[in-house]
Structure 1
Amino acid sequence: MQSIAQSSDRQAFVKLFDHFAPRVKALLMRQGTPADLAEELAQETLLMVWRKAALFDPTRAGASTWIAAIARNLRIDAARREKRSRLPDVFDILQGEEPEQPDQVFDGSERDSRVRAALTSLSPDQLRVVQLAFMEGLSHQDVAKRLSIPLGTVKSRLRLAMARMRGSLEDLR
């Protein structure tokens, strides 16, 4: 790991890949991941190891533990993406509904304007994270990648933003 982190040693990475790729795939398959997806996630895991080798801290965990954690997080992200892709189409939901009554439309537009006002109370950093996570449907990991910030920062900004908005919109529940 040190050779990869310090000098992007390709030979060391080939050895690491040959050793860990089958193990990561087997781990993912034991957790119920289909073989083709497990192989794809194993490759993505080791690509992440190549990119983030400098972040590996041998005092906190062994290489296999660190790699397994990366694989686990990527599997969770893949499951979330799959779950989102299986959500029913908006048009399917709307077909069976009756038209909204005028008072419902007014209540909805009032609620929308209150939510927009609450969004303006957020800091620009919090607003961007909320937009990516809730309006674009990105996972926390994907938001962190897109903004090039740590995952913990994404989660903190979301938590603070939701707390601030909850205070502004409490009476809408």
Structure 2
Amino acid sequence: MPEFSSDYQKMLLTRIATDSDRDAFRALFVHYGPRIKAVMLKAGADQQLAEDLVQDVMLNVWRKAKLYSPERGAVSTWIYTIARNARIDKLRRGSSKPYEDLDDVELASEEADGEDMVIANEISGRVTDALSELPDDQRQIIRMAYIEDLSQSDIASKLSIPLGTVKSRMRLAYGKLRSTLEELR
């Protein structure tokens, strides 16, 4: 996955605006969804409200991608402004209680610190090693499911094997991976 730089984010948003590119939207959603939820939880929202707000925000990103103007700020600023406004709107509609503005909420840096990078590299290495220990047929199915994002039915069609075989190989692979990677939990 490419580094999630400002230019990469702008390119994703442009693809959404011009081509309604679902893969570009998925990349933004995967990156910003958890961050928006964390901000909403930190600002006092419960789990359900935070998840609802993430959905509202990302739906607005999809709908309003054409309105983004790079001259007015970074993609992250634009998305967090949508989040702030969505939260305020939800609070205004839901109650007469005063609300806390997101401007006062401190965000953790999106940059990984050294310790996080070391841990991530160690986990990545262990997962790679565990995957390399799988038989080729199981590794291929796991790769198709998680890297190519194919459903079990699509995998069965692509490999010309029964769906039950795909499920069986996947179950066997999960069992081996679980036992190998159990200590990472």
TM-score (norm 1): 0.47
Larger Rg computed on CA atoms: 1
Q: TM-score under structure 2 normalisation? A: 0.44
